[in-house]
Chain A
Amino acid sequence: MAYDLICIVCPNGCHLHVDDDFNVTGNRCPRGAVYAKQEVTNPTRVVTSTVRIDSKVLKVLPVKTKAPVSKKKIFDVMAVINKTSVKVPVHIGDVLVKDIAGTGADLVATRDILE
């Protein structure tokens, strides 16, 4: 299956075409080819969201997957995030869910909430 995508590596925004054999055209530089192959074979994203917290100051704690996860798993990750709630104190980097939704990535806090 062939793909058309916009390169996000630099402001050029090249319109890339990837054919069945993963040959990339439309790129003005080699970085575009690397991006296109990754994006077509195994696109990944860091998921950022919030979980509930029993804090006096904030209702929600911002979180992220510590590593990028497969794009296909984003909504599986969100389903776990939406069921997660945590108690204070929480520090940046605290692991809240290990190996979230079988992605291999941990869900970690991205803000200190101490009370």
Chain B
Amino acid sequence: MMVGKDLLIIGGGSAGMAAAVAAYDRGVKDILIVEKGPFLGGILNQCIHNGFGLQEFNEELTGPEFLTRFVHQVEDRKIAYKLNSYVSDISPDKVVTYCNMVDGYVEVKAKAIILATGCYERNAGAIGIPGDRPSGIITAGQAQLYLNEYGYMVGKRVFILGSGDIGLIMARRMSLEGAKVLGAAEIMPYSNGLNRNLVQCLQDFGIPLYLSHTVSKVVGKSHLEKVEISEVDEKLQIIPGTSTSFDVDTLLLSIGLVPYNDLLIKLGLPPSRTKGANVNEHMETDIDGIFSCGNVLHVHDLVDNVVAEAKLAGVSAALYLGGNLPRHNEVIACLPGDGIGYVVPEEIDRANADDTIQVKFRVKKPSHDVFIEYRFNNEIIKRIYKTAIVPSEMEVDNIPKKILKNNQGTITISLKQREVK
């Protein structure tokens, strides 16, 4: 069975819903959201802690409260969605195949597509932990799903590898539920989590954070019995003779998130620096009419930023469907320079861009007393001073279109230490 849709949105999390609402409000009525899980809302369903929505709604909400507001926006507009539906194929001519228990396999020929499939957690296989292969080693987000949606604990004595925010939040969550969290090890000399989470999730519960440490061995016949951590040197290599052991039944991994980019591969699009799609200032990929936003584009730390980006993708899809999003062959590249990990978008179609062009980027390491320097064809066009900047907080900034004096060239964003006299 083949059906036609103006706009197909893959993923019904915060990005997919926000994009759908934005497109609808710009006149696109024939929309279908395809969601893999049993509910709209994606990962926010399991993020029961608060701290969401300060920018979007001017109040501090929990994940389920935040997503419910978007579900209401989707339902008020009668935007169609399919739950428990998995997209198995996508082609550059915008035919998407999804399947579910009710409809079987369905092919949709869409005029525009928004990819909003989120990200996944790096797991034990990604880092090759030495030692046994017992059960009890699980990603922090999976443990969060089991506890917050299914209602059971994965263990009673817990160690955490990595200092990402999910790991920190699970340290608090499992402590509240009566588990003993013995510590968290971070291979880098600084934490990857927000200070707020270091204070409220570790310090509040007396959980030590071991910086420049990693798990050097796991021990357990069938279930995890012990983890050993060791200090690492500046090359991140384990220093022999520095190990400490902890008797634990659970090792939670909070070692990074990666855009879930399987569909990009099916589209033949090469992954960008962020492992997501390359997009222009309208969040449009290298295929006309296929857009990407949210954590599948680059991993965000705040859902408010996801929503803002998704709205841009939704508005862009509406412009495209109305024939108002032409592509020009002259594009400005926007690239990370010294000290910057990535920039989104990496290309800007100046002729087509709005008056201000939003750029997002992350620094590679924590820095103090620095300038963010924007150069266009090597000429400095903008400088911003920062007393402090950290990789765990994405930077969002706007470039006024008028300071880009022509339609070709390269913008470079770099970090420069302030000269101390």
Residue numbers of A with Cβ under 8 A of B are: 5-8, 10-13, 28, 45-50, 52, 57-60, 62, 64, 71, 74-75, 78, 92, 110-112
CA distance A33 to B344 in the complex (A): 36
What are the interface flags for B43-81 relative to A under an 8 Å C-beta threshold, 1 for contact and 0 otherwise?
000001110000000001010110010000000000000
Q: Residues of B contacting A92 with CB < 8 Å?
A: 64-65, 68
Please provide the 3 A-B residue pairs with the shortest distance between their CB atoms, ordered closest to farther: A59-B151, A62-B48, A60-B151
15 A-B contact pairs sorted by A residue (CB < 8 Å): A8-B200, A11-B388, A11-B393, A13-B390, A46-B50, A47-B176, A48-B62, A50-B48, A50-B151, A62-B48, A62-B62, A62-B64, A78-B176, A111-B68, A112-B68
CB of B247 within 8 A of chain A? no
A71 to B78 Cα, complex, angstroms: 43
Instruction: Say whether A58 contacts B149, CB under 8 Å.
Output: yes
Q: Quick check: B64 and A6 within 8 Å, CB to CB?
A: no
Say if the beta carbon of B195 comes within 8 Å of chain A. yes
Contacts of A62 in B (CB 8 A): 48, 62, 64, 148
Q: Are A110 and B388 closer than 8 Å at their CB atoms?
A: no
**In the complex, chain A residues whose CB is within 8 Å of the CB of B62:** 48, 62, 64, 110
Q: Is B199 an interface residue (CB 8 A)?
A: yes
Contact between B387 and A28, CB atoms less than 8 A apart: yes
- If A11-B388, A48-B62, A62-B148 are given as contacts, then 14 extra A-B residue pairs at C-beta distance below 8 Å, sorted by A number, are A6-B195, A13-B390, A28-B387, A45-B204, A49-B176, A50-B48, A59-B151, A62-B64, A64-B62, A92-B65, A110-B62, A111-B64, A111-B65, A112-B68
A110-B65 in contact (CB<8A): yes
- How far does the alpha carbon of A112 sit from the alpha carbon of B393 in the complex, in Å? 31
**Quick one: closest A residue to B65, CB to CB?**
A110
Cα distance A74–B176 in the bound complex, in angstroms: 8
A59 to B65, CA, bound (A): 18
A107 CB, nearest partner CB in chain B, Å? 13
Distance, CA A110 to CA B49, complexed state (A) = 10
User: Which of B62, B68, B173, B389 is most buried by chain A, counting CB atoms within 10 A of its CB?
Assistant: B62
Q: Which residues from chain B contact A110 at a C-beta distance below 8 Å?
A: 48, 62, 64-65
Interface residue ranges of B170-225 to A (CB < 8 Å): 173, 176-177, 194-196, 198-200, 203-204
In angstroms, Cα B50 to Cα A48, docked, is 7
Contact of B196 among A8, A46, A52 (CB under 8 A): A8
A75 contacts across to B, CB distance below 8 A = 176
Whole-angstrom distance between the Cβ of B134 and the nearest chain A Cβ: 27
Least Cβ–Cβ distance between B288 and chain A, in angstroms: 38
Q: Is the CB of B50 within 8 A of A64?
A: yes
CA distance A92 to B50 in the complex (A): 14
Docked complex Cα distance between A64 and B64 (Å): 11
For A50, list chain B residues within 8 Å (CB): 48, 147-148, 151
Known A-B contacts A46-B50, A57-B38, A58-B149; A11 and B390 likewise in contact (beta carbons under 8 Å): yes
User: Which of B49, B198, B204, B393 has a CB less than 8 Å from the CB of A48?
Assistant: B49
* A11–B389 touching, CB < 8 Å: yes
Q: Which residues of B contact A58 (CB under 8 A)?
A: 149, 151
Complex-state Cα separation, A12 to B386, whole angstroms: 9
- B151 near A6 with CB under 8 A, answer no
Nearest A residue to B49 via CB reads A48
Please give the distance in Å from A37's CB to the nearest CB on chain B.
Answer: 15
Say how far B72's CB is from chain A's closest CB, in angstroms.
Answer: 10
Contacts of A78 in B (CB 8 A): 176-177
A13:B151 contact, CB within 8 angstroms: no
CB-CB under 8 A from A49, the residues of chain B are 48, 173, 176-177
CB distance from B37 to the nearest CB of A (A): 12
Q: Measured between alpha carbons, how far is A71 from B172 in the docked complex, in Å?
A: 13
Whether the pair B64, A59 counts as a contact (CB closer than 8 A) is no
CB of A103 to closest CB in B, whole Å: 15
Which of B65, B173, B194 has the largest number of chain A CB atoms within 10 A? B65
Most chain A CB within a 10 A radius of its CB, from B60, B195, B203, B390: B195
User: Quick one: given A8-B196, A92-B65, are A48 and B387 in contact (CB under 8 Å)?
Assistant: no
